Amino acid sequence: MISRTLRIFIRLSYVAIDVICILLSVFLACWIRQTAFPVDMRQLFFDADNPFHLVFVMWTISVVFFNSFYHLYQTRREVMESYEIGLVIRSVCLAALAVLVFVYSMKIVGFPRSAFLLLVGFTTVLFCLWRVVKRIFVEFLAANGYNNASVLIVGAGKVGLMLAEEIRRHPGFGLKIIGFLDDTKTTQDLPSGYEVVGTLKDFEQVIQRRFVSKVFFTVHPDGTIFYELLEMAKELKVGVRVVPQAFDQATGDLFKYNVGLIPVLEYCDVGHNRRQYGKRIFDIVVSSVGCIFLSPFFLAIAIWIRFDSPGPAFYFSRRYGRGGKVLKMWKFRSMVVDADEKLKELKQRNEVDGPIFKIRQDPRVTRVGRFLRKYSIDELPQLVNVLLGDMSLVGPRPLPIDQVETEDLKQLKRLEVRPGITGLWQVRGRSDLPFHRLVKWDAWYINNWSFWLDVNILFETIPVVLKGKGAY
């Protein structure tokens, strides 16, 4: 763990970088609107003859204050990057509101609105950019062993193993799993690489001997036992995290509030109808831009496919969409023309569970098709489906009609929303993920949807696709 002095130095460095970003934003806004402002920075901030210098001082103070309020001068590596960006936007918006109130209260007349909008925009962009760079750097250091925390997971059941998998998938979290505590399971019951280091009775001993700094509770022991373990952790100065029980059944983000002095987690609300505000607008904008800029690339791929094997460049697959509606999903053709007829001969060689058919060495896949599938290039034409409103950028993957029974679909929650080009299935393992886990992740996505969750999935999709893991 880093020392208190170093922690203070890092936070002061974050503040200093923020101030530099603010100064640069002010300079850029005033340079663009130089007819209204002198460009000399000393005049902008410290010259009493400049009637607007207090606005810039107030802007700097307000932004730093709200950034501090939202804990943006520390890096919580376990928190999604998109969540931190959301806090940055929220902080800048509140600072802008505070400055507007200040300008009105002080009766500062003539401050150019266009310059203020530019100032807010530049500040937001610079803050987001440097925090993305900061996260990349911090995660690189953590992945290479710097300032890692030893983690003990209480509970070696499904939730405990899911948590361990998430930690392993993100070495940038800087969390090193030393083992599990469980009263009923042993090391032999766990997948390779995991170890049960004791039972709940060994809690204190394991923490001291293994130098544990964080404990994650994924099971919920008896109230008295949990209270004793919590008190023990406090005495040992160990951080405690608790995974909420039945978290995957929550309809939306778990909302924390208080009933009087009692903290409460809200899993769902009566009559709550969750709407995906802004999702369709985002889909239209991104798919339109994507279709325009990728059209030369699409043409080159289409020509490559035609030269490689006889048949059309595109393949239209019938899939179930929202509400069971049948849609024609666009794909670059990656198989021979009579691939559907040959499927019956290969069904007994299926390598995945559930109704989906997948084999690693599918003889129907063409030479070009193997490359297209590895990097999911064959899926790019689905931007047209997104533009038409049949699909979304992010959502549950649509299932082939001829591979899924109709009576099964009636029970799938995944048909409540538009299917997506990418989703949690893709970033969690693609074809390597069992079908029952696919359905579970899709249900969790639907219950916990947010705009920032979509943005985070899109960002996570990029490295997964580039690595080509789990695609066949």
Note the pLDDT tens digit of each residue in 80-127: 777 888 899 999 999 999 999 988 888 877 778 888 899 999 999 999
Residues in the chain: 472
What pLDDT, on a 0 to 100 scale, did the predictor assign at position 407? 47
pTM over 0.85: no
Dihedral angle computed from the Cα positions of residues 24, 29, 32 and 33, in that order, rounded to the nearest 10 degrees = -140
Q: Which of 243, 260, 290 is the last residue of a domain?
A: 243
Residues 154 and 133 in one domain: no
Distance CA 217, CA 206 (A): 15
Specify the DSSP element, H or E, that contains 340: helix 339-346
* 331 inside domain: yes
User: Could you tell me if residue 102 is inside a domain?
Assistant: yes
Residue with structure tokens 């899911």? 162
Residues 200, 323, single domain; the answer is: no
> Minimum mean pLDDT among 10-14, 77-81, 316-320: which range?
77-81
Is 284 domain-assigned?
yes
Confidence of residue 449 (pLDDT cuts 50, 70, 90): confident
Q: Are residues 79 and 217 in the same domain?
A: no
Count up the domains in the chain and report the number.
3
Whether the predicted pLDDT of 431 surpasses 60: no
Name the domain boundary from 109, 143, 177.
143
* 403 and 389 both lie in a single domain: yes
Only one residue has tokens 């279709």, namely 291
The answer to whether 424 and 460 have CB atoms below 8 angstroms apart is no
Q: Using one digit for the tens of pLDDT, what is the confidence trace for 394-429?
A: 998 887 776 565 445 545 667 788 999 998 877 776
**What is the domain range of residue 130?**
4-143
Neighbours of 419 (CB within 10 A): 25
Is residue 160 domain-shared with residue 305, that is, in the same domain?
A: no
Residues 131 and 193 in one domain: no
Q: Among the three residues 107, 127, 143, which one is the final residue of a domain in this structure?
A: 143
Question: Same domain, yes or no, for 54 and 170?
Answer: no
| Structural domain contains residue 125 | yes
Same-domain check for residues 91 and 235: no
Distance between start and end Cα atoms, the chain: 42
346 falls within a domain: yes
What distance in Å separates the CA atoms of residue 310 and residue 313, rounded to the nearest whole number?
9
- Whether 284 and 368 share a structural domain: yes
Cβ neighbours of residue 82 closer than 8 Å, sequence gap 6 or more = 452, 453, 455, 456, 459
Domain co-membership, 127 together with 153: no
Query: Do 97 and 132 sit in the same domain of this protein?
Result: yes
Asked if pLDDT for residue 252 goes beyond 80, the answer is: no
The whole-number pLDDT of residue 42 equals 60
Q: Residues 402, 329: one domain?
A: yes
Contact assessment for residue 350 and residue 340, using Cβ atoms and an 8 Å cutoff: no
